[in-house]
């Protein structure tokens, strides 16, 4: 749990150092990605054998790696790298969905998530233009699917919901209208989401070990 403390500490450092008016730099990218780096260490600290034996954990680690790359791209989003960041997080959601698996199926949760995703896209649609009309649709479908699989399996379901809140705030703030305290909302929900998703990988291992002993 020491690494979780480090993750929380680095989150605080982010809010202290990352000012809204600061210009993009490699230093600001490092500070922004630092909590995610700590989550890498948190999973790697359980050993390579753990990651090899638990594919869900290795896929979550891979998702965290793509997340960090996406975070770095978003530092320079005003310089034209927003789509690159969007792609990295799309891959992250595919990896997380794969980690959560398809059992149990829970079609009711899937139906609710489909309605929620459709509502979000309908709301954003009138503000979108050009390639973003399609890119945002695909992204919402991917994060909605990830949310369904997390909720259906009760693995990191709160983390998945927080991730969706973070991304929806980004979309509204970028495409629709300024969201008050958007930076705080986006980063607080994002870091909490990633921490809960990383924890779910370790919890799934503990559940497997308990089943083997019994």
Long-range Cβ contacts of 181-187 (<8 Å, 24+ apart): 183/18, 183/20, 184/15, 187/11, 187/14, 187/15
Contacts of 62 (CB under 8 A, 6+ apart): 95
Q: Which two tokens stand for residue 192?
A: 């909490």
**CA gap 108, 116 in Å, rounded:** 12
> pLDDT tens for residues 19-43?
555 678 888 888 888 889 988 988 9
Higher pLDDT, 53 or 20: 53
Binned at pLDDT 50, 70 and 90, residue 86 comes out as very high
Binned at pLDDT 50, 70 and 90, residue 140 comes out as very high
Binned at pLDDT 50, 70 and 90, residue 12 comes out as low
The overall average pLDDT reported for the chain is: 88
**CA gap 13, 5 in Å, rounded:** 12
**CA gap 163, 142 in Å, rounded:** 12
Other C-beta atoms closer than 10 Å to the C-beta of 182 total 15
Higher pLDDT, 10 or 69: 69
Binned at pLDDT 50, 70 and 90, residue 211 comes out as very low
Q: Could you tell me the sign of the dihedral formed by the alpha carbons of 35, 36, 42, 45, in that order? A: negative
Instruction: Tell whether the model's pLDDT for residue 207 goes beyond 70.
Output: no
């Amino acid at each position: 749990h020491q690494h979780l403390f480090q993750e929380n500490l680095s989150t605080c450092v982010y809010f202290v150092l990352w000012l809204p008016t600061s210009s993009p730099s490699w230093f600001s990218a490092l500070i922004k990605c630092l909590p995610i780096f700590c989550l890498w260490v948190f999973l790697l600290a359980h050993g390579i054998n753990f990651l090899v034996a638990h594919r869900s954990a290795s896929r979550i680690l891979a998702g965290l790696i793509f997340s960090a790359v996406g975070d770095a791209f978003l530092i320079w989003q005003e310089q034209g790298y927003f789509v690159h960041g969007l792609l990295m997080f799309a891959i992250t959601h595919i990896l997380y969905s794969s980690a959560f698996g398809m059992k149990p199926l829970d079609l009711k949760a899937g139906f609710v998530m489909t309605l929620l995703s459709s509502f979000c896209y309908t709301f954003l649609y009138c503000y979108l233009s050009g390639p973003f009309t399609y890119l945002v649709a695909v992204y919402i479908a991917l994060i909605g699917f990830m949310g369904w699989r997390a909720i259906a399996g009760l693995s990191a379901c709160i983390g998945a919901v927080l991730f969706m809140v973070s991304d929806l705030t980004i979309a509204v703030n970028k495409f629709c209208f300024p969201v008050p305290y958007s930076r705080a909302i986006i980063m607080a929900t994002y870091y909490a989401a990633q921490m809960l998703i990383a924890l779910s990988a370790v919890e799934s291992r503990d559940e497997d070990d308990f089943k083997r002993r019994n």
